[in-house]
Amino acid sequence: MELFSYFRSTAAYRVRIALNLKGLDYQLSPVDLASGEQRGADYLALNPQGLVPALRLDDGQVISQSTAIIEWLEETCPSPALLPRGSTERALIRGWVNTIACDIHPLNNLRVLNYLKNTLALDEAAKTTWYHHWLQLGFEALEQQLVATPYCAGEQLSLADVYLIPQVFNARRFHFDMTPFPRIRAVCEACQQLEAFTRARPENQPDAATPPASG
């Protein structure tokens, strides 16, 4: 398998964690978002949406969208399970996942921030206020919902942890104050003890030396 990734991409970071937790080997192919490689013809031929991540399977098929990739991993490599057995428990975790994947992350994507800056002429401070606003709303809700003993859903790691840790990384990068979120911080500390999470960290990626871009 080949993962098209960018070291600071929150969505690619999720997939790296999931691949590591499942113990799967993959080749990592960096796509340089800072220089716009995601909009080049070669990458658009793989993923017409021009976003990372994308996962090229051994048979050549390419899956786009981190949630589609992670669900595919969960279905094809069910152990260790990242969702519990019960339908209600699964739905609770998917709800937390969607808070991050649907209601926080899309609003801080590079192309969205670039639109705010280049088309709507917002300055850096206004852009940061925008991002912090959506983070605040999402994290406030999660802080009330997460079990955090020690992981999002309790003792068993789940997809919620896979999605939360990259979003917190990104929040900290944009100087968002995490002090009011002790449960979220506790989950992060617990996950960072695990090799699957540390190996997936942005600074541990081969493309970590390239100039920064958001994501």
Ligand X SMILES: N[C@@H](CCC(=O)N[C@@H](CS)C(=O)NCC(=O)O)C(=O)O
Yes or no: say if 130 and 115 are a contact pair by the CB < 8 Å rule: no
Work out how close the CB of 54 gets to ligand X at its nearest, in angstroms, rounded to a whole number. Answer: 8
Torsion 96-102-107-108 (CA) sign = positive
Using rule CB under 6 A, residue 162 touches ligand X = no
Out of 9, 20, 158, 205, the only residue in the binding site for ligand X (CB under 6 A) is: 9
Q: Is 73 in the site for ligand X (CB under 6 A)?
A: no
Beta carbons of 108 and 214 less than 8 angstroms apart:
yes
Residues 11, 93, 165, 191: which binds ligand X (CB under 6 A)? 11
CA torsion angle 165 171 175 177 (round to 10): -80
Mask 27-66, x = binds ligand X (CB under 6 A)?
Answer: ------x----x------------xxx-----------xx
User: Residue 71 and residue 69: Cα distance in Å, rounded?
Assistant: 6
- Local structure of residue 105 (DSSP, 8 states): G
CB 104 within 8 A of CB 135: yes
Choose, by CB under 6 A, the member of 90, 94, 111, 185 that binds ligand X: 111
75 within 8 A of 68, measured Cβ to Cβ:
no
Verify binding: residue 135, ligand X, rule CB under 6 A: no
> Shortest gap between Cβ of 40 and ligand X (angstroms)?
11
Binding segment (CB under 6 A) for ligand X, from list 74-82, 107-115, 127-135, 201-209: 107-115
Tokens in use for 44? 């658009």
**Bridge partners, 62 (sequence order):** 56
Scanning residues 78 to 97, which ones bind ligand X (CB under 6 A)? none
Q: Could you identify the residue written with the tokens 């919902």?
A: 145
Question: In the bound complex, what is the minimum distance in angstroms from residue 44's beta carbon to ligand X?
Answer: 11
CB under 6 A: which stretch of 4-12, 17-25, 76-84, 198-206 binds ligand X?
Answer: 4-12
Helix (H, G, I), strand (E, B) or coil at 12: helix
Among 28, 46, 67, 154, binds ligand X (CB under 6 A): 67
* H-only helix segments in 8-149: 10-21, 41-46, 66-76, 87-98, 110-114, 124-145
CB of 166 to ligand X, least distance (A): 9
Q: Which residues bind ligand X (CB under 6 A)?
A: 9-11, 33, 38, 51-53, 65-67, 101, 109-111, 215
